[in-house]
Amino acid sequence: MNPIKVIVAGPRGKMGSEALRMIEKDQSFELVACIDRKNDGVKVKDIEGLPSLDARIYTDAENCLASVEADVLVDLTTPENGYKHTKLAIENKIRPVVGTTGFTEEQLDELSALCKEREIGCVIAPNFAVGAVLMMQFSKWAAKHFPDVEIIEKHHDQKLDAPSGTAIKTAQLIKEEREAHKQGHQDEDETIEGARGAEFDGMRIHSMRLPGLVAHQEVIFGGLGQTLTIKHDSINRESFMSGVKLASERVMDLDVLVYGLEHLLD
Amino acid sequence: MNPIKVIVAGPRGKMGSEALRMIEKDQSFELVACIDRKNDGVKVKDIEGLPSLDARIYTDAENCLASVEADVLVDLTTPENGYKHTKLAIENKIRPVVGTTGFTEEQLDELSALCKEREIGCVIAPNFAVGAVLMMQFSKWAAKHFPDVEIIEKHHDQKLDAPSGTAIKTAQLIKEEREAHKQGHQDEDETIEGARGAEFDGMRIHSMRLPGLVAHQEVIFGGLGQTLTIKHDSINRESFMSGVKLASERVMDLDVLVYGLEHLLD
Amino acid sequence: MNPIKVIVAGPRGKMGSEALRMIEKDQSFELVACIDRKNDGVKVKDIEGLPSLDARIYTDAENCLASVEADVLVDLTTPENGYKHTKLAIENKIRPVVGTTGFTEEQLDELSALCKEREIGCVIAPNFAVGAVLMMQFSKWAAKHFPDVEIIEKHHDQKLDAPSGTAIKTAQLIKEEREAHKQGHQDEDETIEGARGAEFDGMRIHSMRLPGLVAHQEVIFGGLGQTLTIKHDSINRESFMSGVKLASERVMDLDVLVYGLEHLLD
Amino acid sequence: MNPIKVIVAGPRGKMGSEALRMIEKDQSFELVACIDRKNDGVKVKDIEGLPSLDARIYTDAENCLASVEADVLVDLTTPENGYKHTKLAIENKIRPVVGTTGFTEEQLDELSALCKEREIGCVIAPNFAVGAVLMMQFSKWAAKHFPDVEIIEKHHDQKLDAPSGTAIKTAQLIKEEREAHKQGHQDEDETIEGARGAEFDGMRIHSMRLPGLVAHQEVIFGGLGQTLTIKHDSINRESFMSGVKLASERVMDLDVLVYGLEHLLD
């Protein structure tokens, strides 16, 4: 089988450079170009810190997507650029795989209509970590049978926000599946404020921050005589690449826009 | 809504007595009779150790199932008696909910045909712990995306067999979803025999036995930069009752035989 | 070796009845009497729910401790009765082993002086779970080298107070060993109040409450590139009996009052 | 206070380069020279991949240790070179901090005598991860009170040997504190060989190998109604640097040779 020809937008970013390393190691992909703000015409391998790949960098996205023969655009830039690149890619029959949480409903509707019209696949995903996405799907399922649940997420102590975005997203998915109810004893008493964590629709979320941690989450369901725990531990950005790979392969067989990696994980 | 009228077979067993306690507390069920080898005609509440319920005990299962008006038979006896009771129940339009691993393929086929003919529901389940069944289903799903997996099960030190039945069942489900492959380093070296655990289709199962443990299992999936863990902890037999309850409710709407609680957990 | 002759005060309580079951199974102990508010003169085995032991019950503690030949008094009553019994026991050369958190500094000083005067051992312990006491000691030690730490304690959802007494006690011990400092990012932001848990001297305590849990605590220390976790799981009251046994044996060789099981765990 | 003047031997190794990064960030240390096999006279900052430090590299260890004014030698080379460097350092009144498992008893005795004669401190440690060393010390302590214990160690799937060196070392320390006894049910039956793990003095060790893991170990002690778990998770080599730092500070106040970081962790 021929390798899938990929253009990567955002090659010097944390996610983008990781994507290049993934493509470098994986025979089923071939890098054909990059889109970046600088280094027009330079080869990837001549940029410090990037892998030894021959593809050239384009600063003009429109030119790149119109002139380079490619199957897939992997876009790991900003929501603004991502939106422009995605539109251009679809118009040029190149399937976009986009990692972003920033698109508006309107933009998604427009891109979805465009995909349908051109009969071309597109994957837009807020989270490419397959393990994290499965954790959320399992949690959604478990909540049907175990309405009592708490979440504990653990991150390095340089993280600013608590709870994490993944914890809140997980809680939202659980909320859809169960009736809201205050958990714990009805008369429970916090002798130190905050002990019982953040309340979200009656369930509780706890955020731990310590040096030596990376990104971890446990969703714990309790029932009579038993608990069921779903846990995801991520130790580096490599964890996202399995999702980028999966989306890049599956997008080849799609003819619609799919939002969220979970729809590719059946 | 009227409570569901239940006959319990095996009321003095560990599972049966737990089922009686569940029925006693739950307004949606009403105990109408028990089937047991002794104490014919005695009320449940007059048997030491059983809950304060008025239903009478029958030693003649045929008579009981023919004469008592009931919706559901909860059978927690042996495979031999369970098979006989299940047949009698179906013939008397009482829906069976049976906890056993011991039925043969032939018996299951026969009972299934009988249910179809009479258009009556029946649930037969080797495991009624909802959390354990979900753990197995999640593991089956995760294995599609994470082919590298190990299982560690932990039990009290009075358990005879290792690995546990649940661990082996989990491994079988995982096996169905992935290509067999030897895990770990190809040249790995056990400097003390057994360190890498039991091999099953290339994956590894570890069995821990200690006082202070009850029944616990972790299924750990590893991928690049991440691990996904599914864990079930059971601390007593109450954990089975949520499954008995669920099956007893759902069997009212079935008109076929369902084997395995997983088919009721969508 | 002769068994240690024990009087148990509070035989019908949760802890007291567990102590009787421990003595029944353990050849190194012999129950010689019980002190209780009722059932004067009745044998233990004639009280429903208590083990089959021949020792008699006394409602008059003074009479019991003066007339029965015994080595050790195991007192599992209230602080008020416990204080009286302890004094009487010391005066009668019976070594007290007392489970309570309720004695005042003054009472402890008085009892300590009395022990010294009579050259008799006495153990008073707020917590008899050897595993929990070791967890606290290890935490105290670890805090010298890992000043960043969070505690998560998990209990059944019938528990009223949060954080648990053990969590607070653990935090106090850690506080003694490290300089107070605000943990986490200096500008961290709780987008839902309470996410970061209860603050205690700069460290954080999280309280989880779910059905299916019993009594669990994890103390997690974070440092560069590593975490060290100390975890205690208790599934029933049997966990306290190893401490009662240890104290009853060790008190035989003491000639002073020892407060806290940790001093017997070197 | 003046910074401690350090010579690092082995600056291009995995541990050595990590030590340079630690020194670069830490005001309490000053790098005064390096000992390496090549790059004589070159500054550290001119070697690719090393931090921006001005100290020069010496290929002649003897010359370096005799001519450079230094407080401490941090040696992270091989046992052969480490032994030579340590001797030379002591003779030049520079305190050695050496990370190795490879010294013979004879070499240690000789170096110990030399330290005593010169009244100079020296620290030799097989393991500089403070968390791992504490885990082992806590395990040794816990084993006195919980004779039933199992170890599970988890590593990435490129590791060759099972069980890990740390697991075996932990088991040896536990062995010193308890009477050997076969754990688990006396008639337990492995239906798949290896399920119960590696046997070591009656206890069991389990080795898990998966992608996405780094270096983890849990020591689980079981008693009546409770378990006590001590867990260490290491995610990168930074975890060793806290031990190198501690040893480099403490060696300044020593006048003997200390073998093993545990003796500095009271």
Per-residue pLDDT tens over the stretch A172-201? 999 999 998 889 999 999 999 999 999 999
Which of B154, B162, B212 faces D224 most closely, judged by CB atoms?
B212
Q: Which of A204, D89, D159, A26 is nearest to C155 (CA)?
A: A204
Which residues have C-beta within 8 Å of that of residue D110, sequence separation ≥ 6?
Answer: none
Q: Does B227 touch chain D (CB under 8 A)?
A: yes
Nearest chain D residue to A237, by CA: D212
Contact (CB, 8 A) for B167 and B139: no
CA angle B117, B118, B124 (to 5 degrees): 95
Confidence of residue A49 (pLDDT cuts 50, 70, 90): confident
Q: Does B239 touch chain A (CB under 8 A)?
A: yes
Q: What is the edge-to-edge ordering of all strands in the sheet holding A4-9?
A: A56-58, A29-35, A4-9, A72-75, A95-99, A122-125, A257-259
For chain D, report the end-to-end CA distance as a whole number of angstroms: 24
Cα separation, A185 vs A202, in Å, equals 12
The amino acid at residue B103 is F
Q: What is the edge-to-edge ordering of all strands in the sheet holding A226-234?
A: A198-200, A203-209, A148-155, A215-223, A226-234, B226-234, B215-223, B148-155, B203-209, B198-200
Classify strands B215-223 and B226-234 as parallel, antiparallel or unpaired. antiparallel
Please give the helix or strand (H or E) that residue B32 lies within, else none: strand B29-35
Nearest chain C residue to D230, by CA: C230
Q: Which of C262, C265, C252, C266 is nearest to C122 (CA)?
A: C252
Rg (CA), chain A: 21
Q: Which of D195, D78, A47 is nearest to B196 (CA)?
A: D195
Backbone angles phi, psi at C108, to 5 degrees: -65, -40
Which residues have C-beta within 8 Å of that of residue A73, sequence separation ≥ 6?
Answer: A6, A7, A8, A9, A65, A85, A86, A89, A94, A95, A96, A97
Per-residue pLDDT tens over the stretch A103-158? 999 999 999 999 999 999 999 999 999 999 999 999 999 999 999 999 999 999 99
Contact C228 D231 (CB under 8 A): yes
Contact (CB, 8 A) for D30 and D5: yes
Residue C143 pLDDT exceeds 80: yes
Contact (CB, 8 A) for D208 and B150: yes
Q: Does C226 touch chain A (CB under 8 A)?
A: yes
Residuewise pLDDT in 10s, chain B (266 residues):
789 999 999 999 999 999 999 999 999 999 999 999 999 999 999 998 899 999 999 999 999 999 999 999 999 999 999 999 999 999 999 999 999 888 999 999 999 999 999 999 999 999 999 999 999 999 999 999 999 999 999 999 999 999 999 999 999 999 999 998 889 999 999 999 999 999 999 999 999 999 999 999 999 999 999 999 999 999 998 999 999 999 999 999 999 999 999 999 98
Cα separation, C262 vs B257, in Å, equals 59
On the question of a cis peptide bond just before residue A163, with omega within 30 degrees of 0, the verdict is yes
The pLDDT assigned to D102 comes to 84
Per-residue pLDDT tens over the stretch D69-116? 999 999 999 999 999 999 999 999 999 999 988 899 999 999 999 999
Contacts of A205 in chain C (CB under 8 A): 192, 195
**Tokens 């958190």 belong to residue:** C101
The amino acid at residue B40 is D
Which of D134, D226, D241 faces C239 most closely, judged by CB atoms?
D226
Classify strands A257-259 and A122-125 as parallel, antiparallel or unpaired. parallel
Contact B183 D148 (CB under 8 A): no
The pLDDT assigned to B230 comes to 98
Cα separation, B128 vs B143, in Å, equals 23
The pLDDT assigned to A142 comes to 98
Residue D226 pLDDT exceeds 90: yes
Q: Would you tell me which residues 119-138 of chain D have a C-beta closer than 8 angstroms to some C-beta of chain C?
A: 129-132, 134-135, 137-138
Contacts of C204 in chain A (CB under 8 A): 208-209
Nearest chain C residue to A205, by CA: C195
Nearest chain B residue to A232, by CA: B228
**Is D14 exposed, middle or buried (CB count within 10 Å of its CB: 0-12, 13-18, 19+)?**
exposed
Give how far Cα A45 sits from Cα of A42, B193, C133, Å: 8, 47, 58
Q: How many CB atoms lie within 10 A of CB B199?
A: 15
The amino acid at residue A242 is S
Give how far Cα A83 sits from Cα of A80, A102, D92, Å: 5, 9, 66
Contact D214 A235 (CB under 8 A): yes
Half-sphere exposure of B110 (CA within 13 A, CB side): 11
Distance from CA of D136 to the nearest CA of A (A): 19
Distance from CA of C262 to the nearest CA of D (A): 12
Contact A220 C210 (CB under 8 A): yes
Per-residue pLDDT tens over the stretch C185-228? 999 999 999 999 999 999 999 999 999 999 999 999 999 999 99
Q: Does C214 touch chain B (CB under 8 A)?
A: yes
Name the CA dihedral angle for A60, A66, A72, A74, rounded to a multiple of 10 degrees: 10
Percent of chain C with pLDDT over 70: 100
Q: Does A91 touch chain D (CB under 8 A)?
A: no
DSSP E strands, B69-197: 72-75, 95-99, 122-125, 148-155, 161-162, 189-190
What distance separates the 2 farthest-apart alpha carbons in chain D? Answer: 68
The pLDDT assigned to A266 comes to 82
Q: How many CB atoms lie within 10 A of CB A13?
A: 15
Interface test with B, best of C216, C235, C237, C242 (most B CBs within 10 A): C235
Handedness of CA B178, A169, A237, A261 (dihedral sign): positive
Contact D235 C242 (CB under 8 A): no
Contact (CB, 8 A) for D129 and D108: no
Average pLDDT over residues A63-73: 97
Which residues of C are part of the catalytic machinery?
155, 159
DSSP E strands, C37-94: 56-58, 72-75
Interface test with A, best of C183, C207, C216, C224 (most A CBs within 10 A): C207
SS3 state of residue B189 = strand
Which of D148, D152, D197 faces B194 most closely, judged by CB atoms?
D197
Cα separation, B247 vs D186, in Å, equals 38
Q: Helices in D92-156 by DSSP H: which ranges?
A: 105-118, 130-143
Distance from CA of A164 to the nearest CA of C (A): 9
Q: Does C204 touch chain A (CB under 8 A)?
A: yes
Q: Does D212 touch chain A (CB under 8 A)?
A: yes
**Tokens 């009403």 belong to residue:** B30
Contacts of A178 in chain C (CB under 8 A): none
Beta-carbon contacts below 8 Å between B and D: 168
Chains in contact with chain B (at least 3 beta-carbon pairs closer than 8 A): A, C, D
Which of A225, A229, A237 faces B225 most closely, judged by CB atoms?
A237
Interface test with D, best of C14, C139, C226, C229 (most D CBs within 10 A): C226
Rg (CA), chain C: 21
Q: Does B235 touch chain C (CB under 8 A)?
A: yes
The pLDDT assigned to D1 comes to 73
What is the ipTM, given to two decimal places?
A: 0.92
Contact D227 C233 (CB under 8 A): yes
The pLDDT assigned to C266 comes to 82
Q: How many CB atoms lie within 10 A of CB D38?
A: 9
SS3 state of residue C97 = strand
Contact A235 D235 (CB under 8 A): yes
Please give the helix or strand (H or E) that residue B136 lies within, else none: helix B130-143
Strand partners, C208: C154
Which of D157, D199, D206 faces B183 most closely, judged by CB atoms?
D157
Backbone angles phi, psi at C78, to 5 degrees: -95, 165
The amino acid at residue A66 is A
Contact (CB, 8 A) for D82 and D98: yes
Contact (CB, 8 A) for A98 and A86: yes
Cα separation, C70 vs C68, in Å, equals 6
Per-residue pLDDT tens over the stretch C86-138? 999 999 999 999 998 889 999 999 999 999 999 999 999 999 999 999 999 99
Which residues of A are part of the catalytic machinery?
155, 159
Cα separation, D199 vs A120, in Å, equals 58
Per-residue pLDDT tens over the stretch D44-75? 999 988 999 999 999 999 999 999 999 999 99
Chains in contact with chain C (at least 3 beta-carbon pairs closer than 8 A): A, B, D
Q: Which of B45, B241, D221 is nearest to C212 (CA)?
A: B241
SS3 state of residue D50 = coil
Which of D150, D160, D211 faces B224 most closely, judged by CB atoms?
D211
Contact (CB, 8 A) for B74 and B33: no
Q: What is the DSSP string of C220-258?
A: EEEETTEEEEEEEEE-STHHHHHHHHHHHHHGGG-SSEE
Backbone angles phi, psi at A123, to 5 degrees: -125, 125
Which of A131, A226, A233 faces B232 most closely, judged by CB atoms?
A226
Per-residue pLDDT tens over the stretch C26-83? 999 999 999 999 999 999 999 988 999 999 999 999 999 999 999 999 999 999 999 9
Give how far Cα B83 sits from Cα of B86, B94, C133, D27, Å: 5, 14, 52, 78
Q: How many CB atoms lie within 10 A of CB D37?
A: 12
Q: Which of C64, C23, C22, C25 is nearest to C41 (CA)?
A: C64
Residues A70-84 as b/e (b if ≥16 CB within 10 A, e otherwise) read bbbbbbbbeeebbbb
Q: Does D193 touch chain B (CB under 8 A)?
A: yes
Please give the helix or strand (H or E) that residue B203 lies within, else none: strand B203-209
Residue A56 pLDDT exceeds 90: yes
CA angle B243, A265, A257 (to 5 degrees): 130
Cα separation, D109 vs C217, in Å, equals 44
The pLDDT assigned to C180 comes to 87
Cα separation, B200 vs B171, in Å, equals 7
Contacts of C220 in chain A (CB under 8 A): 154, 208, 210
Q: Does A249 touch chain B (CB under 8 A)?
A: no
Which residues of D are part of the catalytic machinery?
155, 159
Which tokens hold the place of B51? Answer: 């809950």
Mean pLDDT of chain D: 95
Nearest chain D residue to B235, by CA: D225
